[in-house]
Structure 1
Amino acid sequence: MDDAVVLGKKGYSLSNTLGEGSYGKVKSAYCDRLKCNVAIKIIDKRKTPRDFLEKFLPREIEALRRLHHPSIIKTYEIFETSAGKVYIVMELGEKGDLLDYIKITGAMKEDIARIKFHQLASAIKHCHDSDFAHRDLKCENILLDEDLNIKLSDFGFSKSLSRDENGRTILSKTFCGSAAYAAPEVLQGIPCDPRISDIWSLGVILYTMVYALMPFDDSNVRKMICIQKQHRIPFPKSKYLTVECKDLIYHLLQPNVSQRLCIDQVLKHSWLQTPKSRLPSPLPAAEEGECSQNLREGKPEHKLQAKSHSAEREGEGKQKGPS
């Protein structure tokens, strides 16, 4: 049965396509019951690999059903038809994703970035406190509502944490996500607590918010890992940032997992409190543009769009928001 017919019977009027992947798509629709526009992810199970059906889709649905937070995209309904199609009805990110927003508006002022980043970090705290790691944090997976509030989305790579008989977190051995946002331990295939790897991705996102640049050029992953492990972070002199903001980025992008902040420490960081110091940063800074990557240069798409390096799952379509 046609998607429009199936959804029409449930009170949804389908509209334009927001995103499309190898075996799924996201469309916008109007919901008669909610009296608002929504996003509907449509997954055809007949066209999806077994790994996705057995591992990733159940994890995503579990996360969507369990995670409820003001800065996480709301899930209204999940249902499946006898024809093998899964429909996930979600809150619509009216203003699109964070990457597109930054490309259009440029780097954020610190006061604005502080508000947005606090919303995002609060959403991640909720995930981590609920024993979930997102594992695919990137600007494209952060949507904006009508009032430009952060809405974390796309839990297709998320994982519910398991513990051994001694109560210790079982480390993740699967590389998934996007090279430009992935922590060095993930890129190197070192077993890790995926919550700590999420923190690194937060550092890349915060850097991108305040500079409208990527901190590392992922066109040569081996070289990028070398730079990351040396804790070399380029702080362009063309834009002034407070000591606190640079300090937070510096500690988020900490290659040593034992020294990287946990999410509670992130939220307690001085930059996320009332701004104080306006002094130049004493932190070591690479020369401008040494290894950062411009979001607006029109580089090849693989450098602008985060790349999936997982052999287990391709993107099944994500919400992009109205064009």
Structure 2
Amino acid sequence: RLDFTLKGYSLSATLGEGSYGKVKSAYCNKLKCNVAVKIIDKRKTPQDFLERFLPREIAALKRLHHPSIIKTYEIFETSSGKVYIIMELGVRGDLLDYIKITGAMKEDFARLKFQQLASAIKHCHDSDLAHRDLKCENILLDKDLNVKLSDFGFSKPLSRDENGRTILSKTFCGSAAYAAPEVLQGIPCDPKISDIWSLGVILYTMVYALMPFDDSNVRKMIYIQKQHRIPFPKSKYLTTECKDLIYHLLQPDVSQRLCIDEVLKHSWLQTPKSHIPTPPSAAETGECSQNLHDKKPEHKQEAKTHPAEQEGQKENGSS
């Protein structure tokens, strides 16, 4: 704590707590603004987390620089074995809380926010990095409601085989409600393609203020997902283009799912007035959305819990 004060920071409120650390807000004398500080106590963390996940998170934060990714100002370790990660503060909290308070977004506003998020993901994917834990709680908002993607605790640098193909990942990370069916089934997959599914869940949540699938029974949820049945509630009008993008993001067949460049080229993200054919009516069946207020509360700017303790988590094989 003393080392930290000497570096010109004064700590204040706790924003969130995980198994191995907490996130606090602090004032930085040098930057003359409030920042978020993730504090990880190495003495209280398992070896697996220290050897695999923490170095990956730090490496990702150091190499990613994008206006829609949370800025990292400084990372240091004190003599007492605490790691401090000093980051930009998402002053308006996270996207899930924002939607709970304001309700479903109007399409034009959702388009702007989703464009920011998708461009952040393109930056990650172009840097051969998959996020692997995309969810509304990990999308923070600045004072002007700009998207700031955060929490790279599960991110994975992608390696390639001798033919230049991405080596598949076998680990399940993240929350079941946002995870792609292939991830939930433990099928080795390209984590960049699995990130795209999570984007579909996020976009659906933005425009409906509901989750597309009820994750209280994961086996049943996977069955519905694999039939490509997406509930589009009649209660809210949504343009054909927006539904079409959601339909293509939540594509259970990984060979048919869009890549991030195709997402950004989609007509819904170009202009509000273009028209494309409506998805097949099968997509409209099966009302299985879940109210956001039914979800378990999670902290903003949270200190990441260890993978093995994460909701719905199963570690199988290498990660």
- TM-score normalised by L of structure 2: 0.92
Shift of 1:286: 3.5
Shift of 1:6: 2.2
2:71 aligned residue:
74
Alignment coverage as a number of residue pairs: 307
TM superposition outliers: structure 1 runs of 4+ over 4 Å = 277-282, 302-305, 308-311
- Which stretches in structure 1 are left out of the alignment for 5+ residues? 316-323
Shift of 1:83: 1.4
Q: 1:312 is aligned with what amino acid?
A: A
2:56 aligned residue:
59
Q: 2:296 aligned with 1:312, yes or no?
A: no
- Work out the CA distance in 2 between the residues paired with 1:283 and 1:71: 34
2:184 aligned residue:
187
* Aligned partner of 2:26 among 26, 29, 36: 29
* Aligned partner of 2:4 among 3, 7, 11: 7
- Which stretches in structure 2 are left out of the alignment for 5+ residues? 312-319
- Work out the CA distance in 1 between the residues paired with 2:6 and 2:308: 34
Q: 1:43 is aligned with what amino acid?
A: I
* Aligned partner of 1:238 among 235, 238, 250: 235
Structure 1 segment 109-258 matched on structure 2, within 5 A: 109-258=106-255
Q: 1:295 is aligned with what amino acid?
A: L
Q: 1:202 is aligned with what amino acid?
A: L
Q: 2:40 aligned with 1:49, yes or no?
A: no
Cα gap change, 1:113 to 1:271, in 2 (>3 Å): same
* Aligned partner of 1:84 among 81, 85, 90: 81
Alignment identity in percent? 82
Structure 1 segment 232-311 matched on structure 2, within 5 A: 232-277=229-274, 281-284=278-281, 285-287=283-285, 290-296=287-293, 299=294, 301=296
- Work out the CA distance in 2 between the residues paired with 1:267 and 1:188: 28
Cα gap change, 1:274 to 1:57, in 2 (>3 Å): same
- Work out the CA distance in 1 between the residues paired with 2:224 and 2:309: 28
Secondary structure of the 2:12 match is strand
- Work out the CA distance in 1 between the residues paired with 2:145 and 2:120: 15
2:317 aligned residue:
none
User: What's the CA shift string for 1:245-286, capped at 9, x where partnerless?
Assistant: 000000000000000000000000000001114799454244
Shift of 1:311: 5.0
Q: Is contact 2:75-2:86 (8 Å) kept?
A: yes
Secondary structure of the 2:109 match is helix
- Work out the CA distance in 1 between the residues paired with 2:278 and 2:260: 23
User: What's the CA shift string for 1:152-209, capped at 9, x where partnerless?
Assistant: 0000000000111222110000111110000000000000000000000000000000
CA RMSD between the two structures: 2.1
